[in-house]
Copies of this chain bind each other. A is one copy, B any other.
């Protein structure tokens, strides 16, 4: 048995998300497993570090798989990039320690959400930006609200899975918000995120920026532990998994 680590990027626009599903093979995981299994001549399971939702992109998704027979990682890399569609690219394949697991061992995930406020400037990256054309956003208020969300909290109010039975406690290292005349970028750094969590955080921060919520209402919202109290789930196209780090 040989364990491998793979770094993958994809334009998620036309996929039903990362995760394999019974009723469709139109997922990133299924595409990768299909090509990899043909490459090595055995059925392979690929485990991703972050299970990105339908329409969400990745520039540095990390995946991991085991093979019964060791293969040259460079050969796997070349084969996969030859046969994968042009909106999925494998950036590297390397041998990994036997116990390495892409999800359980991840120490930091970086997700970026881009809100476009001037579509003329997003002609070339328009599929990777959420174009927002409502009232102007108060970015200072959004930054203040983000400070309350940083740290370890029960993020149940920001969990999109109503049937979540495991702990909804997560730790956000930082939320960095920056602004240009054409867009607002929100960078989230954390060990791990709940389903839809980043997009619900963005949807809630947009409501803060609109003046519909105060930054100071964030602790109360966390305490509510109720998805209905948070803002809407922001659209998927603005979200990209940038990087997964390991210790």
Complex CA–CA separation, A188 to B79 (angstroms): 35
Contacts of A88 in B (CB 8 A): 123
Least CB distance, A74 to chain B, in whole angstroms: 13
Q: Which of A1-39 contact B (CB under 8 A)?
A: 9-11
Bound together, the chains give a CA A118 to CA B87 distance in angstroms of 13
Q: In the complex the two chains form, what is the Cα distance from A128 to B126 in whole Å? A: 13
**Bound CA–CA A128/B125 (angstroms):** 11
**A57-106 interface (Cβ within 8 A of B):** 57, 59, 81, 86-91
- Beyond A86-B123, A91-B120, list 8 extra A-B contacts (CB 8 Å): A9-B124, A10-B123, A11-B123, A11-B124, A57-B124, A88-B123, A89-B122, A89-B123
Residues of A within 8 A of B (CB): 9-11, 57, 59, 81, 86-91, 118-126, 128, 131
